[in-house]
Amino acid sequence: MTDSARSQSFNTAVVVDAGHDRFGEHRGLGISEIDFKVTGAGSNGLFVLENIFHAKGGPARHLHVAQDEWFYVLEGEFLFEIGEERFRLKPGDSVLGPRMVPHVWAHAGDGRGRILVAFTPAGSMEAFFREVTKADAMPPQDPALWRAHGMELLGPPLSLK
């Protein structure tokens, strides 16, 4: 994608091809990769990413102070804990994690997993993922890093044992 395409006002349709990132960039999280599909600056505050897993696991337990987070499973099986509830989602299933509600989730199936994750409003989630994917590892359990991006780190990743 050209620099002029990146800087446009986004008052027209923006197409992102399957298997590609909005900006043509690679972002790794160790056990998975993410592609930005819709970014906050071009959408009046919606941020959507596709998370593609090649191993089991997921992020640490956390909450978002100002964002609702919506998950839609495309492929594979995912386990979620949102508040006190536990869910096992398969392709076509979705769940909303409201702001200020602790949650944790993980790819729990065999083989590849794919999930769409949407944040509204976008807040600083794009900046968070740009920062943590520099190491190509799951985000570090550093409370200050999470807090700087509008989240509270509450515990370890979900145990799949």
CATH number at residue 54: 2.60.120.10
Q: What pLDDT, in 10s, does the model give residues 26-51?
A: 999 999 999 999 998 767 789 999 99
Backbone angles phi, psi at 55, to 5 degrees: -150, 160
The verdict on residue 6 lying in a domain is no
pTM of the model: 0.90
> Residue 10's pLDDT band (boundaries 50, 70, 90)?
low
In a domain, 14, yes or no: no
Do 108 and 74 form a contact (C-beta atoms < 8 A)? no
- List, in sequence order, every beta strand (DSSP E) within the chain: 27-28, 32-38, 47-53, 60-64, 68-75, 78-82, 85-89, 94-97, 103-107, 113-120, 151-157
Answer left, alpha or beta for residue 11, where phi above 0 means left and psi between -120 and 50 means alpha: alpha
Structure confidence at residue 158 as a pLDDT band (50, 70, 90): very high
* Residue range(s) defining the domain that contains residue 149: 19-154
Dmax over CA atoms of the chain, in Å, equals: 48
- pLDDT, the chain, mean: 91
Residue 9 has pLDDT above 70, yes or no: no
Q: Which residues pair with 120 in a beta bridge?
A: 68
Q: Is 140 helix (H, G, I), strand (E, B) or coil?
A: coil
Domain presence at residue 13: no
Total of domains in the chain: 1
Asked if residue 7 is part of any domain, the answer here is: no
Q: Tell me the pLDDT tens digit for each residue of 47-71.
A: 999 999 999 999 999 999 999 999 9
Model pLDDT, residue 68: 97
pLDDT above 70: residue 126 = yes
Q: Is residue 135 part of a domain?
A: yes
pLDDT at 7 over 50: no
**Domain assignment of residue 141, yes or no:** yes
With 80 as the cut, is the pLDDT of residue 161 above it?
A: no
Is pLDDT above 50 for 1? no
pLDDT at site 56: 96
Structure tokens at 158: 């979900």
What is the pLDDT averaged over residues 10-28? 88
Residue 70 contacts by C-beta under 8 Å, 6 or more apart in sequence?
A: 94, 95, 96, 97, 117, 118, 119, 120
* 78-124 tens-digit pLDDT: 999 999 999 999 999 999 999 999 999 999 999 999 999 999 999 99
